[in-house]
Amino acid sequence: MSTRTSVGTSLDDVRAIPLSLRSRVTLAVASVLGLMMLCWPLLVQVGDAAGGAARIDPPFLFLLLLPVVIAVVVAEMSEGGMDARVLAILGVLSAVNALMRVLSAGTAGVELVFFLLILSGRVFGAGFGFVLGVTSLFASALMTAGVGPWLPFQMLCAAWVGLGAGLLPRRVSGRAELVMLAAYGVVAAYLFGALMNLSGWPFLLGVAVPGAEGDLTFDPTAGPLDNLRTFAVYTLITSTGSFDTGRAITTAVAVLVLGPAVLTTLRRASRRAVVVQTAP
């Protein structure tokens, strides 16, 4: 049975979307499958065409994950985790995040999506952060005509950013909380960039570095460690020192400068929209 916050329940221990055991299992399955689809070049030994090995096409296989992601939202709504007010907040934050992404557009690594996603996950919890990451990236893709095979990967990676923010230690507060969120934003920015690079790296051809031996493309005949080293060099050269660093700096500065005001506003909203699970 789902009820409003009872007397004596601390708002600091409440989530707008409480995660039941079923939701946690569904979320874990979705995350594991998504991580496997991203990391398949490092996990699977792919044979050449002459060997008769079956072709692996991650973008199409990844579509199998989408019903699992949708099931997370359905499970939350069916158990009373989302009422009309929570849905309204989710819609507003998704629209704001999508608009911020359109305005920043990742130019020179300036990316404003993650700071609001991190703060929302911090206030409303891991479940809300996961769903917000999915809806924000989907809405922004529709606004910018950015729908493509990369979109499911972007949605899931952004969902992980919001999920992780909701799992950070709850007892930290004040200035230490801002520092923790800023540090998390830096780590999340680099991981997001690396995972997105990994989603497209196996399909690139002829990426070479002057003065280096060989190229930086995926070699299906090489071992996992060799491909991991090649990918590490590729992502370091192509994005870690440029776009990912810009994203990390933007997120950290936004959290430290705008964080106090945004956190206060979101926490006020959470007092009106929060739902908790109680025993029948």
Is residue 150 included in any domain, yes or no? yes
Measure the CA–CA gap between 207 and 25, rounded to whole angstroms: 40
Name the residue range of residue 132's domain: 9-277
Is residue 4 included in any domain, yes or no? no
Task: List, in sequence order, every residue forming a beta bridge with 215; answer none if it has no partner.
Answer: 208
Is residue 256 included in any domain, yes or no? yes
Closest Cα to residue 228, out of 258, 249, 197, 256?
197
CA distances from 81 to 18, 41, 103, 122 (A): 6, 37, 32, 17
pLDDT of residue 275: 47
Is residue 80 included in any domain, yes or no? yes
Tens digit of pLDDT for each residue in 193-228?
888 888 878 777 666 555 455 677 777 777 778 888
SS3 (DSSP) at 211: coil
CA distances from 83 to 16, 51, 89, 93, 108 (A): 9, 54, 10, 16, 39
Measure the CA–CA gap between 122 and 116, rounded to whole angstroms: 10
Is residue 68 included in any domain, yes or no? yes
Mean pLDDT of 159-182: 91
3-state helix, strand, coil in the chain (%, to 5): 70, 0, 25
Say what the pTM is: 0.78
Residue 49 has pLDDT above 50, yes or no: no
**What burial letters (b/e) apply to 55-83, b meaning 16+ CB within 10 Å?**
eeebbeebeebeebbebbbebbeebebbe
Is residue 244 included in any domain, yes or no? yes
pLDDT of residue 277: 43
Residue 260 has pLDDT above 90, yes or no: yes
Of the listed ranges 18-27, 106-115, 206-215, 228-237, the one predicted with least confidence: 206-215
- The answer to whether residues 270 and 124 touch, using CB atoms and an 8 Å cutoff, is yes
Is residue 116 included in any domain, yes or no? yes
Is residue 2 included in any domain, yes or no? no
Number of domains in the chain: 1
Measure the CA–CA gap between 118 and 248, rounded to whole angstroms: 12
Give the whole-number percent of the chain exceeding pLDDT 70: 69
Residue 165 has pLDDT above 90, yes or no: yes
- Chain centroid to Cα 248, Å, comes to 14
